[in-house]
């Protein structure tokens, strides 16, 4: 997965629309759930606060063509740049 939250490139834009992919079921082979969010901040908040840890581990966030794995999502969510409200 690309997308380094520490980033050597442009700062992450939390206002960009985002796609979140995560497993449908745990413990079984299955498909992916997909949710579109109007902002990456909302997608990250959903992933961190609503998904169970096992689903988060396999989740992928896509923002402006870049993909972020669960470790990168955790860094973005805990960043001081993450919008609080």
pTM: 0.81
Name the residue ranges covered by the structural domains of the chain. 18-78
53-68 mean pLDDT: 93
pLDDT digits (tens, 9 = 90+) for 64-85: 999 999 999 999 999 999 998 6
Cα four-point dihedral sign 50, 52, 53, 55: negative
For residue 11, the model assigns a pLDDT of 86
- What are the φ/ψ torsions at residue 23 (nearest 5 degrees)? -65, 145
Expressed in percent and rounded to 5, the helix, strand and coil fractions of the chain are: 30, 20, 50
* Averaged confidence pLDDT in the chain: 86
């Amino acid at each position: 997965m690309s997308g380094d939250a520490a980033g050597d490139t442009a700062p992450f834009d939390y206002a960009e629309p985002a796609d979140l992919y995560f497993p449908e079921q745990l413990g079984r082979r299955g498909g992916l759930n997909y949710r579109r969010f109007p902002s990456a901040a909302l997608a990250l908040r959903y992933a961190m606060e609503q998904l169970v840890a096992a689903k988060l581990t396999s989740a992928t966030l896509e923002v402006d063509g870049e993909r972020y794995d669960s470790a990168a999502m955790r860094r973005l969510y805990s960043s001081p740049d993450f919008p609080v409200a």
